Structure 1
């Protein structure tokens, strides 16, 4: 059960109503995570800003972004994010079986993606530290220095939402991800 109630657009603090309304339009409703973030303008505005920068300047396609989110969410055992990003990954063209494979660290359907996700998982599980061999394997798989640097922003965004959900206890309001 959530520790704080979920705001609606009308009940949210004035400084976040516009952003919360835009998120409602994007997702068809105020998701519990966004409604809870709305309690603190700094939280919702930070989330929106990170999403905006990634949208404006990021080079990863939607399937790659969702794959990173699934990998990070799995390492952090964030049920909410794994569920939300399973839906997002399916909308981006991944099959449900592929979303499960990503969460199980079994990305044999795309060795290049597997190398990137290994960096993301290691960075997540080791407080940002990535072994030289893991980094080099990603370079050898064809990822560039710029793409691996960009990965840090995607990992950071997902750590932000994972930790928020853990702290708040966000109630699941999206279809649950398949069990592993």
Structure 2
């Protein structure tokens, strides 16, 4: 049961209405996470600002972004984000089995992406710390230090949503991600 109301465009606080309309248009409906964030306009505005910065300046394709989100959602045990990004990852070209492998941390994805996801997992799970071995492995796999730094923004927005979902206890309004065996 959620701790806070999930708003629609029609009953959201005025300061959240435009951001909520934009997200509704993007996703085809108001997702529970966005409707919950709308309860506090600063929460929704911060989320959309981070997403806007990533959209404007980010260099990763949808496939890479979704893989990072799946990895972070698994580290943080956020069932809502794992569900949402399983849907997004499948739309970006991953199979359901690949989404499970990414969440588990299996090396079933190509080695360059696996090295990047290891960086993302450490950032998320180690409060920003990444070992030299993990960093160097990602550089050796072909990622640049600029790209490895960009991972931080992607991890940050996913931590933001993961933590919000834990705080608010957002109800799942998407198909649940497959269980990790």
Question: TM-score normalised to the size of structure 2?
Answer: 0.98
> C-alpha separation between the residues in 1 aligned to 2:59 and 2:107?
21
Gaps of 5+ in 2: none
Question: By how many angstroms is 1:28 displaced?
Answer: 1.1
Q: Deviations over 1:33-60 (max 9, x none)?
A: 0000001111000100111111111000
Question: By how many angstroms is 1:139 displaced?
Answer: 0.3
Q: Residue in 1 aligned with 2:161? A: 161
Question: TM-score normalised to the size of structure 1?
Answer: 0.98
Moved over 3 A (4+): none
Q: Deviations over 1:83-132 (max 9, x none)?
A: 00000000111111110010111133310000000011011111000000
> C-alpha separation between the residues in 2 aligned to 1:109 and 1:77?
21
Gaps of 5+ in 1: none
Q: Residue in 2 aligned with 1:31? A: 31
Question: By how many angstroms is 1:22 displaced?
Answer: 1.1
- Contact between 2:73 and 2:82, CA under 8 Å: does it hold in 1? yes
Q: Residue in 1 aligned with 2:68? A: 68
- Contact between 1:98 and 1:107, CA under 8 Å: does it hold in 2? no
Show the 5 A alignment for 1:76-95: 76-95=76-95
> C-alpha separation between the residues in 2 aligned to 1:141 and 1:66?
19
> C-alpha separation between the residues in 2 aligned to 1:28 and 1:169?
22
Q: Tell whether 2:23 aligns with 1:15.
A: no
Question: By how many angstroms is 1:25 displaced?
Answer: 1.1
> C-alpha separation between the residues in 1 aligned to 2:108 and 2:177?
20
Q: Residue in 2 aligned with 1:140? A: 140
